[in-house]
C-alpha cells in the first residue's frame, strides 16, 4: 500500500514550505506566488501531470511532481520528475523509491515512453537512488531559456553553459 496520495489545494502551503527549504539548500531562487500558481495548476489540470504528497499524520513530509511532455526522440509522450523531495527527518525510509514507483506507474498508465529527471551533482544519496531505479546519465546538457515570469535561475547555471540532463546522446547534426 502506498504512503503517497494525490495532492490537493490544501497541501500547497506545506509543499511550498518544503520547496522553499529545498531551493535554499541548492541556491535556487524561490518566488512563492509563482510556485503556488504552478503547484495549483498541476493539481487542477491533469493534462499537465500529477503532484503527490506523503504525510505523517496531517503533516506533509514529502512530495513528487511529474510533468508531461512530448518528444520526437522518445517517440511520443515523455515525462519529467520535476521535483522529488522528502524531508530530511523521513529520508532512509523508502519514500524516495516509493515516489519513483508511483511516478513510473502513473507514466506507464498515461502512455509515457520515457521518464526523465535532473539532480544536482552533490546530492549523492539521490543520485544513487535514481541509478538503482534505472535512470542513466547520457552526458548531455539541460539548457533553459526563460520566456515568462521572474526568471529564477538555479545557482548551478551561473558560470557554466548548462546542467547535465539524462537522455540518450545525440549524434552530431541532431537536436
Query: Residues 95-131: pLDDT tens digits?
Result: 999 999 999 999 999 999 999 998 888 888 888 889 9
Shortest CA distance to 16 belongs to which of 46, 69, 66, 60? 60
Which DSSP letter does residue 140 get? E
Mean pLDDT of the chain: 85
Domain boundaries, the chain: 4-165
The topology (CATH level 3) of 4-165 is: Aminopeptidase (3.40.630)
Distance CA 44, CA 171 (A): 39
Distance CA 129, CA 92 (A): 11
| Radius of gyration of the chain measured on its C-alpha atoms | 16
Q: Look at residue 152 in the predicted model and tell me its pLDDT.
A: 61
Distance CA 55, CA 81 (A): 19
Distance CA 100, CA 54 (A): 13
- Is the separation of the CB atoms in 72 and 113 below 8 Å? no
Residue 21 φ/ψ, nearest 5 degrees: -65, -40
- Is the separation of the CB atoms in 35 and 24 below 8 Å? no
Q: Look at residue 163 in the predicted model and tell me its pLDDT.
A: 43
Q: Look at residue 72 in the predicted model and tell me its pLDDT.
A: 95
Q: 1-15, pLDDT tens digit by residue? A: 669 999 999 999 999
Q: How confident is the model at residue 168 (pLDDT cuts 50, 70, 90)?
A: very low
Q: 39-93, pLDDT tens digit by residue? A: 999 999 999 999 999 999 989 999 999 999 999 999 999 999 999 999 999 999 9
- Is the separation of the CB atoms in 80 and 116 below 8 Å? yes
Question: What pTM, to 2 d.p., does this model score?
Answer: 0.82
Q: How confident is the model at residue 174 (pLDDT cuts 50, 70, 90)?
A: very low
Q: Look at residue 64 in the predicted model and tell me its pLDDT.
A: 98
Amino acid at each position: 500500500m502506498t504512503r503517497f496520495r494525490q495532492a490537493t489545494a490544501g497541501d500547497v502551503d506545506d509543499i511550498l514550505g518544503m520547496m522553499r527549504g529545498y531551493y535554499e539548500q541548492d541556491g535556487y531562487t524561490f518566488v512563492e506566488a509563482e510556485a503556488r500558481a504552478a503547484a495549483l495548476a498541476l493539481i487542477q489540470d491533469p493534462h499537465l501531470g500529477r503532484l503527490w504528497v506523503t504525510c505523517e499524520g496531517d503533516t506533509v513530509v514529502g512530495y513528487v511532481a511529474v510533468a508531461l511532455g512530448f518528444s520526437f526522440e522518445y517517440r511520443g509522450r515523455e515525462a519529467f520528475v520535476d521535483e522529488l523531495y522528502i524531508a530530511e527527518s523521513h529520508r532512509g525510509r523508502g519514500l524516495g523509491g516509493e515516489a519513483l514507483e508511483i511516478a513510473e506507474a502513473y507514466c506507464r498508465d498515461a502512455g509515457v515512453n520515457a521518464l526523465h529527471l535532473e539532480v544536482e551533482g552533490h546530492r549523492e544519496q539521490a543520485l544513487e537512488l535514481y541509478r538503482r531505479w534505472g535512470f542513466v546519465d547520457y552526458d548531455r546538457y539541460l539548457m533553459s531559456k526563460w520566456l515568462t515570469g521572474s526568471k529564477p535561475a538555479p545557482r548551478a547555471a551561473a558560470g557554466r553553459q548548462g546542467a547535465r540532463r539524462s537522455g540518450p546522446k545525440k549524434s552530431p547534426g541532431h537536436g
